[in-house]
Amino acid sequence: MAVGIFDSGLGGLTILDAVSNRMPSQCFIYYGDNANTPYGVRDSDDIYKLTTTGLEKLWDEGCDLVILACNTASAAALRSIQEKFLPNGKRCLGVFVPLIEALTERNWGDNSPPREVSVKNVALFATPATVSSRAFQRELAFRAIGVDVEAQACGGVVDAIEDGDLILAEALVRSHVDALKRKMPFPEAAILGCTHYPLLEKSFKESLGPDVKVFSQASLVAASLQDYLERHPNMKGAATASKFITTGDPKKVSDRATQFLKRKIDFERF
């Protein structure tokens, strides 16, 4: 048994890398649905079906706790999964919570009324499905008031990353940042609302400029997961090695993963 990490493709490797660095003795089973990536252009029903298929596989692998390291799945499917799909003894956590905790500087368990926070103008970069779900704005509204969120759907970025074309991906980032700035010229903070995007964090920061604070999820999720496992040690599992599973071509996915993480990664076919 290990902790499961689910993603539509390679983006969740940014989360895996961060949690592995923070908890080197913890074992993980990574599931990448590379055959069906990207999720960001799919409808909510399709995302739900693909996500639950991945969860069932990770449960079969012995994972009692699964991190949805995919903002699109977290936005479009997590609430329904938690309400009607989880078996007893299983837990599924998304990646929005640590981000909103950091942005609002308040713990998720703080159920006091929404209040003003220091940041007023926030740029959200995400997939089309995450943007259309408005899940980030909905969750933020429970905890903060007076925050203007301008969302930019970053079409094509995930596809370029999955294809290994980082030059195209960087060009698309610059284009999407320009489009966002036409709508919100002076954002104070920017949310990289897709776990693929930390691979291009430098490009986002350069395009946004030094005055914009960029929130990237990997380190925030890692810290949150460590805290969760310290409070729920029964969820850590007893596996002795991590494992990587993909619905795509294992060699191609392994090569891309090795390229991104700069260490050897070997995927097995789902």
Residue 247 to residues 6, 7, 48, 105, Cα–Cα distance (Å): 12, 11, 16, 38
The alpha carbon of 54 is separated from its chain's Cα centroid by a whole number of angstroms, namely: 15
Check: CB of residue 68 under 8 Å from CB of residue 94. Answer: yes
Calpha distance 56→228 (Å, rounded): 22
Strand partners, 101: none
Based on the residue annotation, tell me whether 194 is a catalytic residue of this protein.
yes
End-to-end CA distance of the chain: give it in Å, rounded.
Answer: 17
Q: Is the dihedral of CA 106, 112, 118, 123 positive or negative?
A: positive
Element containing residue 66 per DSSP (H, E)? strand 65-68
Q: What angle do CA 148, 153, 156 make, to 5 degrees?
A: 155
> Does the active-site annotation cover 63?
no
C-alpha atoms less than 13 angstroms from C-alpha of 203 in its C-beta half-sphere: 21
Of 63, 70, 92, 154, catalytic: 70
Please pick, among 63, 92, 154, 194, the residue that the annotation labels catalytic: 194
> Annotated catalytic sites, by residue?
70, 194
